[in-house]
Chains A and B, each alone.
Chain A
């Protein structure tokens, strides 16, 4: 395999291999928590922490783990960090933790995280894995911020809880309901693919 620079490992997660918009991974939290920007930021923070820590751990222990039990071991590592993140949110951000509900514990089965361990961290060194994890978390963050901004502004007339549209606009209730998540994601993925096709 051709060696890529650390910068390239980081950048690819932002756009070319964006986990949500291009690879369509981790859609469950993407659809569920993007009804407000604040929830999305909480989710981004949790995923960022879990993905980075898990990638570090997996790239350190990758040679010690027999390949038959690698998935089980990765899940234990991921679940440990997810529980740490969940308890941290419950202790210091009780409101956010309540709003995110079961979606924080569900990060354990988020395919972005297990996918990156399997596809990247278990085959690369520590530094590359960190670059990859940071890039992927930022890509996830960009997608969630875009989606939650669209949904919160259209669906509630606010952004991060601040009212930004005045009287003449009636918020489209549907955008903060589950149906709105599918609508917004579909349109967003469509736009991204249109832009990519045009470039190539």
Chain B
């Protein structure tokens, strides 16, 4: 009886102490963690939509978000955050589009765990350049083995077809969802 009481006491005390230490420590780090995330989002938004001065959240869900990017008083464009399955894990992409959603300004990969040296090239400059100024009125199409000619075509990465296809699919579904959403809101 006495020994089990001691066990309970020791575990309770250590759990309470541990909780207290963590709560105390969290005060110092939490604000910074949130600030880091916001700064990162701001930086990416700035890269996909030119001339950003501030942004507003239109929708924010777990796997989908739309930000309205403002340049001064007028709308410079929208940024769509879309998520989908890649070759290894989820790929999270930020798409910058014009205010009428007819053209893609640029694309950034926020999160990916693709194969290093192959699929992971989607984060590289050479690949992302191929997404600049794409036509978003039609579905985007992946081309292999030749350079993209039409404005809605994007190039694939050699040796990473699945990843390249996944990115196109995520962009298409993200654009579709954003169009529906913004149309329903009448903006």
Q: What residues make up the interface of A, taking CB atoms closer than 8 Å to B?
A: 35, 64-66, 68-69, 72-73, 76-77, 79-80, 83-84, 87-88, 90-92, 94, 155-156, 171, 173, 176-177
Contacts and interface: CB of A to CB of B under 8 A. Distances in A.
Given A66-B6, A80-B21, A90 B33 contact: yes
A87 B21 contact: no
A84 B18 contact: no
B18 A87 contact: no
Given A80-B18, A84-B21, A72 B29 contact: no
Contacts of A79: 18
A129 to B, nearest CB: 18
B11 interface: yes
A66 B2 CA distance: 11
B25 A73 contact: no
Interface in B2-32: 3, 6-7, 10-11, 14-15, 18, 21-22, 25-26, 28-30, 32
Contacts of A155: 116
B40 interface: yes
Given A73-B11, A94-B40, 4 more contacts: A66-B6, A80-B22, A84-B22, A84-B25
B7 A66 contact: yes
10 contacts: A35-B116, A66-B6, A68-B7, A69-B11, A72-B11, A83-B25, A90-B33, A94-B36, A171-B117, A177-B115
B29 A88 contact: yes
Interface of B: 3, 6-7, 10-11, 14-15, 18, 21-22, 25-26, 28-30, 32-33, 36-37, 40, 115-118
A87 B25 contact: yes
Given A83-B22, A84-B22, A173-B116, A73 B14 contact: yes
A155 B18 CA distance: 41
Nearest to A61: B14
A46 B37 CA distance: 22
Nearest to B120: A176
B34 to A, nearest CB: 9
Nearest to A176: B116
A78 B10 CA distance: 15
Nearest to B8: A69
- With most chain A CB atoms within 10 A of its CB, the pick from B6, B14, B33, B37 is B14
